[in-house]
């Protein structure tokens, strides 16, 4: 095999690996967005549940763009409910996108016969039993 053929093969492999790593990074970013929106949804749920138990005319404060605004519960609650609905729609979209990216990643792995080294593969093998003819170490010095 000539040097130019080896170079072409190596560069093609590097491109495949680069594309695979890009796909994995995109999948991680989508998963991170999804996790972040789950946390935000839980926070919204806690606030909404707390505000539902309070009188609608009571004052409450809401941080909007770094500015703390004084409002009433009856003004804030519908906005928070709408925000939660939008967040749920976004989560659904992100879940679908994550599934599609996973399918795309698996197809790419199969197409290019990519094997990922797991952490389990990199661990050293477990220690073997000592031969029966040698005395075992007891950890006691004589």
CA 30/CA 18 separation, integer angstroms: 18
Of the candidates 82, 58, 62, the residue with the CA atom closest to the CA atom of residue 72: 58
Question: Among the listed ranges 14-28, 33-47, 96-110, 120-134, which one has the minimum average pLDDT value?
Answer: 120-134
For 14-64, how does the pLDDT look when each residue is reduced to its tens digit (9 = 90+)? 999 999 999 999 999 999 999 999 999 999 999 999 999 999 999 999 999
What three-state secondary structure class fits 61?
A: strand
Residue 12: predicted pLDDT: 87
CA 37/CA 91 separation, integer angstroms: 7
Residue 117: predicted pLDDT: 81
Length of the chain measured in residues: 142
Q: Note the pTM of the prediction, 2 decimals.
A: 0.71
């Amino acid at each position: 095999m000539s040097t130019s053929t080896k170079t072409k093969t190596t560069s093609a492999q590097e491109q495949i690996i680069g594309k695979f790593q890009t796909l994995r990074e995109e999948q991680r970013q989508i998963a991170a967005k999804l996790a972040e929106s789950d946390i935000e949804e839980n926070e919204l749920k806690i606030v909404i549940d707390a505000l539902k138990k309070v009188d609608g005319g009571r004052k409450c404060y809401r941080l909007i763009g770094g500015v703390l605004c004084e409002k009433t519960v009856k003004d804030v609650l519908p906005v928070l409910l709408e925000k939660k609905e939008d967040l749920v729609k976004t989560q659904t979209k992100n879940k679908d996108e994550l599934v599609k990216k996973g399918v795309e990643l698996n197809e790419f792995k199969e197409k290019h016969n990519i094997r990922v080294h797991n952490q389990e593969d990199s661990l050293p093998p477990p220690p073997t039993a000592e031969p029966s003819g040698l005395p075992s170490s007891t950890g006691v010095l004589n």
